Amino acid sequence: MSNKTYPFEMKDMTADEAKKLKLFTGELGGFIRVGPKGYIATHRFKEMAADIYNMEIRSSDVYVVTYARSGTTWTQELVWMVANNLDYEKAKSLTLTERFPFLEFSMMVHPDMTKFFKKQKEGDIEKQKRLEVVSSHIIDRVAAAPSPRFIKTHLPLTLMPPNLLDAKVVYVARDPRDVAVSFYHLCRSMVFMGWSGDFKSFWELLINDLLYWTPFFDHLKEAWEKRHHPNLLFLFYEDMQKDLPAVINRVADFLGKKYSDEQVAQLCEHLKVDSFKKNPSINNVQFKELGLMKPNEEFVRKGKSGGWRDYFDEEMTAQAEKWMEENLRDTDLRFPHLQ
């Protein structure tokens, strides 16, 4: 770990918690809890925690911060396009991961998993090099990147630099039941996560604060408390689905841009789920090429709301309502579609 100061304690899981998390067969290093709220990260996060917390924030930076599978990719592309004067050509020529790197991604790929992937690609020097880049910490690369920088993270605000809001931050929240379904499919599809349990077991981990980046509601509330800050824009995934042009205009206002109705309509076409599925710069084809993702899975899935109903039985539905009600009791945060 870096010799920079880090204000938060990082603790190992209890034996019982660690046992439940063994269902993530691709996470070979195990998990830890970070800070007073006990946010879940992998052991490898210890190597980067202080570097992230102490990283330089530039006023020209734009961060997309979300809990995982809350519309992150959708928002990244929207934000990048709005900030970069709708440069469709550049967006096609560079992958979203190049244009908008994922700050703590390397904590997800244990070094032994990298060795495994490289062995699978033995003899293919180009792919082995790409695997090395994908699985290495990106803090130095981010530090050396020219402005304006676009950065994605699933870390809660408290684990980011204290002056993060010197930059622009777009935070997106989504109904946790839909998050659970989407995240479940992602964790099954990514070899380096390798979720081997059923959906119900996955849901139990989410509501018991035992999944990556949980506690879920603390994550949201930290951002919600800052929603009036001029440098933070708080969005709901459901609003993006309901009225994408309005959200595009909000993002444009936030980033000091102005686009015509025709330009906004064209961007809406570009941002459709069907367009995303066909767009290699967005749909993470490189993960399949490198063996990080199962070949028959999709990174961009359905992108709809309410799909959780196909996965929840009556007991889980009641459990979800109780969990959400208890966690929203001490805040005025409300999901727009539930009001």
Query: What pLDDT shows up at residue 200?
Result: 97
Residue 219: pLDDT over 60: yes
Query: What pLDDT shows up at residue 293?
Result: 87
Q: In angstroms, rounded to a whole number, what is the distance separating the alpha carbons of residues 254 and 111?
A: 39
Q: Is the Cβ–Cβ distance between 307 and 178 less than 8 Å?
A: yes
With b for 16 or more beta-carbon neighbours within 10 A and e for fewer, the 4-18 pattern comes to eebebebeebeeebe
Residue 299: pLDDT over 80: no
- Max mean pLDDT range (91-100, 292-301, 310-319): 310-319
Token pair, residue 152, equals: 């994605």
Closest among 183, 202, 165 to 67, alpha carbons compared: 183
Q: What is the mean pLDDT of residues 203-229?
A: 98
Q: Is the Cβ–Cβ distance between 289 and 127 less than 8 Å?
A: yes
Query: What pLDDT shows up at residue 245?
Result: 98
Q: For the chain, give the percent of residues with pLDDT over 90.
A: 84
Q: What is the mean pLDDT of residues 157-183?
A: 97
Query: What pLDDT shows up at residue 302?
Result: 58
Q: Spell out the domain ranges in the chain.
A: 57-338
Q: What pTM was estimated for this model as a whole?
A: 0.95
Closest among 103, 11, 113, 108 to 66, alpha carbons compared: 103
Residue 300: pLDDT over 70: no
Mean pLDDT of the chain, nearest integer: 93
Q: What is the mean pLDDT of residues 236-258?
A: 97
Outline where 36-170 has alpha helix (H): 49-53, 72-83, 88-93, 96-99, 111-120, 125-135, 139-144
Residue 198: pLDDT over 90: yes
Residue 339: pLDDT over 60: no
Closest among 219, 279, 264, 224 to 73, alpha carbons compared: 279
Amino acid at 199: F
Q: In angstroms, rounded to a whole number, what is the distance separating the alpha carbons of residues 294 and 291?
A: 7
Q: Which fold has domain 57-338?
A: Rossmann fold (3.40.50)
Residue 22: pLDDT over 70: yes
Q: What is the mean pLDDT of residues 195-217?
A: 98
